[in-house]
Chains A and B, each alone.
Chain A
Amino acid sequence: MAEHQDDKELLLEFKNEATKERAYTAIIKKYQEKLYWHIRRMVLDHDDTNDVLQNMFIKVWNNLDNFREDSQLYTWMYRIATNESLTFLDKQKKRSAVSISDDDSYMSNKLVADKDFDGNKLEWKLQMAIQRLPEKQKIVFNLRYFDEMPYEEMSRVLETSEGALKASYHHAVKKIEDFILNH
């Protein structure tokens, strides 16, 4: 794995006009994959993910000078990525005129449309179950299960109490388990 610069150094370089673009490029390279997969697990499609990711990085460029460093850089960017993804999904559903009652099957249907989809494989079943969760609960599950994020950090990303996150995750696990066992 490539060596990456320390966040504090990158932030200092970003604030300097002479090194701003180089620092920005380094920040992208350092976090691009983690952020990509976080977004991808929410919006599913690669092209949609790319759009959201690009928008997210534009926001990083425009707002990084005002970043107060009271949280980790990665936590801050994760929060932007989460909000951008949720905004994107809202707009997409509105465009597709998806009713609230169809909401849980909308994303599952999108998953089924993936060219690599194989309903017989357990990992795809797991994704089907995840996509049936409410958006916020899905995010909590993904962050904990796939990214193994500590609840303390998750609390800063999602601006929700640790207790609420733990409860949400436990409920999510039960729902997913029920789906897998019954399908």
Chain B
Amino acid sequence: MTSNKEISAELLSLSPTLAAIPNTNVFSVPDNYFNELPASVLQLLQPDQSFSFGKAGIPSMTVPEGYFDGLASSILSRIKSQAEETASEEISSLSPSIAAIGKKNIFSVPEGYFDGISTEALKNIAPQAKVVELKPKTRILKYMAAAVVAGVIGLSIFNLTGTKKQDSNSGYQADLMAQANTILKNKSFDKELNALSDKDIEQYLEANGEDVDAALVASTVVDDNNLPSVEEYIIDDNTLENFLKKVNLNN
């Protein structure tokens, strides 16, 4: 033991008698004890293996690679598992009377209950699969109206260009064409249509021979992405008819 000068000086100032006694260890240790200590400890932990250490404290047997890296955590785990008693051991020591009662299940469960839980649980979650949505009635009505109007315009154009004769109503038709032209030019078709109520549109369609109910029913199974755009109705007045045929075929 290296002497600490400060501590020695302190002791001398406190008690010269004590300071005069030599600082020697009176306890004895068996020969080679410390050299053999590591091997002894390892032997306790791993009784299946044998260890021996040379005089310099260097093991004379080889040790698996990485052995010492994991040794600390492995020892801690063993200590922990030995220290924690099981629940059964615990209750037996805490209360033998409760332990003696046992764990008989007193609650009954309807027959087949556990077989059906997962099915019930799946019903409760939000549907993830393809959704068949009901289309808003208004949108379909407006598409139909657009098609009819386009058809009227188309027919008017045909009459004007096809017959090439002056009609007594040519002034009216010219106004109609001029108005249609303005709507198309200003792209205000939607605006014009939106100004009308569902009832007005339905009455107009039925007056023009359209089966509104059939078209609405057909619309309930249509995927939104397949609906033609408004412009398509203007270009081709057969768009609605072709579209409804397509829906019926798919059904």
The chain A residues found within 8 Å of chain B, CB to CB, are: 17, 20-21, 24-25, 28-29, 32-33, 36-37, 40-41, 44, 46, 50, 53-54, 57-58, 61, 114-116, 121-124, 126-127, 144-146, 148-151, 169-170, 173-174, 176-177, 180-181
Contact = CB atoms under 8 A, between A and B. Distances in A.
24 contacts: A28-B118, A29-B117, A29-B118, A32-B118, A36-B117, A37-B107, A46-B108, A46-B109, A46-B110, A54-B121, A57-B117, A57-B124, A58-B121, A61-B125, A115-B108, A123-B101, A123-B102, A127-B106, A145-B103, A150-B87, A151-B84, A173-B91, A180-B97, A181-B97
Contacts of A44: 107
B114 interface: yes
A148 B118 contact: no
Contacts of B124: 54, 57-58
Interface in B86-109: 86-88, 90-91, 94-95, 97-98, 101-109
A121 B128 CA distance: 50
Contacts of A25: 118, 121-122
A15 B104 CA distance: 39
B118 A146 contact: no
B81 to A, nearest CB: 10
A47 to B, nearest CB: 9
A30 to B, nearest CB: 10
Q: Which 6 A-B pairs have the closest CB atoms?
A: A148-B87, A28-B118, A57-B121, A25-B118, A173-B94, A177-B95
A36 B120 CA distance: 14
Nearest to A21: B122
Contacts of A145: 87, 91, 98, 103
Nearest to B88: A148
A58 B84 CA distance: 36
B114 A144 contact: no
Interface string B10-48: 000000000000000000000000000000000000000
Nearest to A151: B84
A52 to B, nearest CB: 12
A54 B120 contact: yes
Contacts of A50: 113
Given A146-B103, A151-B84, 16 more contacts: A32-B118, A37-B105, A37-B107, A40-B107, A41-B107, A46-B108, A54-B124, A123-B102, A127-B106, A144-B87, A148-B86, A148-B88, A150-B84, A150-B87, A169-B90, A174-B95
Given A145-B87, A148-B86, A28 B121 contact: yes
Contacts of A37: 105, 107
Contact of B98 (A36, A116, A127, A177): A177
A173 B117 CA distance: 34
A173 B118 contact: no
Given A53-B117, A61-B125, A145-B87, A46 B107 contact: yes
A48 B91 CA distance: 30
B80 to A, nearest CB: 9
A17 B105 CA distance: 39
A148 B103 CA distance: 11
A119 B113 CA distance: 27
Contacts of A41: 107
Given A32-B118, A151-B84, A176 B108 contact: no
Contacts of B95: 173-174, 176-177
